[in-house]
Amino acid sequence: MFLAVLLATGFIWNELSDEKTSSAKSLQTPSTEKFTKAVEVEPSAEVTPPVEVAQPVENVPQSDQFIIANQDFSNLQLYEYNKPVYDSYGFWQRQEGGMATVIPDLQPYYGEHIVYLTFDDGPDNKNTPQILDILRNENVPATFYVLGAMVEKNPEVLKRIFNEGHAIGNHSYNHNYNELYSSPWNFIEQFQRTDEIIMSQIGVRPLIIRAPGGTYGAFNQDYWDMVKSSGYVEHDWNVSSGDATPKGATASEEINNIISQINTYNFKSAIVLMHSTAAKDETVKALPDIIHFFKERGYTFGVITPMTPTPW
């Protein structure tokens, strides 16, 4: 019943990329062990080889603002919800060095009414800086799920996100559904490629990812197994501003969308989906009121980490 209501809202499971709206995924229920994807791989398609192993980072950043995973991931069972978690090793470095590559099962942290503001598809150089200004003025953290292609275009904005204490998550290289959902390996290769790009700029990589469009209707067990074996933790969302629906949303509509979902479900752990691209001016306008709403409701603000509860 809960899922049916969410689907009926049109907000929760319909994240559409600005650039990729024509590549929307099929949201069908599998009748066999595998999902049938809307786009099939051509028989002659080549599997992308593994990305090159990152060179060791000489100067791993250190700060009390974030936590660096140790070699066996044994320091990730945390009881802090406002410190980002990063890794100073790439996946292939870990594998070749005999280090842990799979994050152990962690006990999720359930606090009293925590909201996680998340922004997908950036960083751009127009609206992401404005979002960062608002977050700084309101003294709240957020999580930015970035695309590798956008980091290549706007590396200084990524560095600002990192330096100001927000969490960075991996959102694939190019958000292209046809490529990402042609096979689990093609999916994970984009995330490993983006890891390399992020590490080249800030010296660490995220362990948290978000699948473009969300996992519902896109993942079968093979995808979940690939994510876990590659050392990632995936988080979708349970509250959406509606800023990526096909018709878009005004600032007031975004605010009302969020208020309505919180009033209906009263999530103790609210993961809010928004976007930080050049087209999302209305999200920038709505953000101060969204923050004020959560403050008035008594929520505290956290960042996504491997121990953050999954939204559903």
Domains and CATH numbers, the chain: 63-301 (3.20.20.370)
Based on the residue annotation, tell me whether 64 is a catalytic residue of this protein. no
Phi and psi angles of residue 252, each rounded to the nearest 5 degrees, phi first: -65, -35
Placement of tokens 């008035």 in the chain: 296
Measured CA distances, 264 to 174, 194, 269, 301 (Å): 34, 37, 14, 20
Exactly one of 120, 121, 124, 236 is catalytic; which is it?
A: 120
CA distance 59 to 76: 22
Of 109, 128, 111, nearest to 119 by C-alpha is 128
CA distance 99 to 70: 9
Residues 6 or more apart from 303 whose CB is under 8 A from it? 81, 82, 83, 84, 116, 141, 142, 143, 166, 167
Residues 6 or more apart from 11 whose CB is under 8 A from it? 240, 241, 242, 245, 257, 261
Handedness of CA 272, 273, 274, 277 (dihedral sign): positive
Measured CA distances, 166 to 62, 65, 137, 159, 208 (Å): 15, 9, 14, 10, 13
Question: What integer pLDDT is reported at residue 17 of this predicted model?
Answer: 40
Based on the residue annotation, tell me whether 120 is a catalytic residue of this protein. yes
Q: Which residues pair with 4 in a beta bridge?
A: none
Question: What integer pLDDT is reported at residue 30 of this predicted model?
Answer: 33
Placement of tokens 């899922």 in the chain: 3
Q: What is the pTM of this model?
A: 0.83
Q: Tell me the per-residue pLDDT of 280-311, one tens digit each, with 9 for 90 and over.
A: 999 999 999 999 999 999 999 999 999 999 99
CA distance 287 to 302: 16
The angle subtended at Cα 12 by Cα 10 and Cα 15, nearest 5°, is: 85
Distinct helix (H) and strand (E) counts, the chain: 10, 11
The one-letter code for the residue type at 70 is N
Question: What integer pLDDT is reported at residue 58 of this predicted model?
Answer: 57
Q: Tell me the per-residue pLDDT of 110-133, one tens digit each, with 9 for 90 and over.
A: 888 999 999 999 999 999 999 999
CA distance 194 to 45: 22
Question: Mean pLDDT per 10-residue run, the chain (312 residues)?
Answer: 40 42 34 31 36 52 89 93 97 97 95 95 98 98 98 98 98 98 98 98 98 97 98 98 93 98 96 97 98 98 97 88
Exactly one of 166, 175, 235, 275 is catalytic; which is it?
A: 275
